[in-house]
């Protein structure tokens, strides 16, 4: 009888435990013993009562449902999963122990989702593979995924397959920056030269115009002596005119 009572108490204790703590995580918090992955959920404290932590496909399928990508998750290498419902849909985060496994399953997930279609938004974030199932607003689902931050250093067991891609990207970005900077300097110099030329020409014109207006009359003789047939030439002082 005591054994039966003890078994019932033990069973009730298991049922009463939060869903997030029913599976043993490889990495738990030192403060409350919860899996660290649970705390990477957006607004995890308010979602704590609805959160489910899993390390096998069976537990995950019961909570998430019959989605084709669930059967593709490889839990043999220590993969952990956490899921909780949100207004944008049900969020699922998978954490892999190494980037190789995450990258391999990433290709499988993309292929399966493209073939199945449906209303699932997916994104790979560090070693996290995050899904939002049963999406009713794609923008809200993407905003939900934007709140997930991978705060660990990714270490590759071998050579980093993205090293060359990152080097090419840096080269392209640096070359583009140099090209744009040079182009802006050239355009700026040409523009400055044009503005300076226009300003200098206008200033020179104004000075010449002021000098011309200072003259008593206009002469087309270039300053030479001419006959005053049109009456435009100013009269000379008679005392300077030679008499007969």
> Domain extents for the chain?
2-157, 162-216
Q: Tell me 236's DSSP state.
A: P
Least reliable range by pLDDT among 46-50, 126-130, 161-165, 200-204? 161-165
Between CA 204 and CA 210 the distance in angstroms is: 10
Nearest to 54 by CA among 20, 15, 27: 20
- At 186 the pLDDT is 94
The yes-or-no verdict on residue 222 having pLDDT over 70 is: no
Place of tokens 């300053």: 223
pLDDT digits (tens, 9 = 90+) for 9-53: 333 333 333 444 444 545 666 566 678 888 888 888 888 888 888
- At 185 the pLDDT is 93
Residues with Cβ within 8 Å of residue 68, at least 6 apart in sequence: 112, 113, 115, 116
Q: Where are the alpha helices (DSSP H) in 17-90?
A: 57-64
The yes-or-no verdict on residue 170 having pLDDT over 90 is: no
- From residue 78, give the alpha-carbon distance in Å to each of 48, 97, 98, 106, 125: 23, 6, 10, 16, 18
pLDDT digits (tens, 9 = 90+) for 111-141: 888 887 778 899 998 888 999 988 888 899 8
């Amino acid at each position: 009888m005591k054994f039966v009572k003890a078994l019932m108490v033990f069973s009730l204790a298991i049922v009463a435990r939060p869903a997030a703590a029913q599976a043993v995580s490889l990495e738990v918090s030192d403060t409350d013993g919860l899996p660290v992955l649970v705390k990477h959920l957006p607004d995890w404290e308010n979602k704590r009562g609805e959160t489910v932590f899993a390390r096998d496909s069976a537990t995950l399928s019961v909570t998430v449902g019959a989605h084709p990508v669930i059967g593709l998750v490889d839990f043999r290498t220590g993969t952990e999963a956490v899921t909780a419902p949100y207004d944008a849909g049900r969020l699922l985060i998978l954490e892999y122990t190494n980037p190789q496994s995450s990258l391999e399953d990433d290709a499988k997930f993309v292929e399966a989702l493209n073939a199945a279609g449906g209303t699932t938004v997916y994104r790979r974030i560090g070693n996290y593979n995050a899904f939002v199932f049963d999406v009713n607003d794609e923008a809200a689902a993407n905003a939900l995924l934007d709140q997930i931050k991978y705060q660990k250093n990714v270490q590759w067991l071998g050579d980093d397959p993205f090293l060359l891609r990152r080097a090419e990207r840096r080269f392209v970005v640096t070359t583009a920056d140099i090209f744009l900077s040079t182009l802006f300097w050239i355009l700026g110099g040409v523009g400055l030269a044009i503005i300076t030329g226009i300003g200098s020409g206008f200033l020179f014109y104004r000075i010449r115009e002021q000098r011309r207006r200072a003259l008593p009359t206009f002469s087309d003789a270039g300053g030479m002596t001419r006959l005053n047939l049109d009456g435009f030439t100013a009269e000379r002082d008679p005392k300077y005119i030679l008499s007969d």
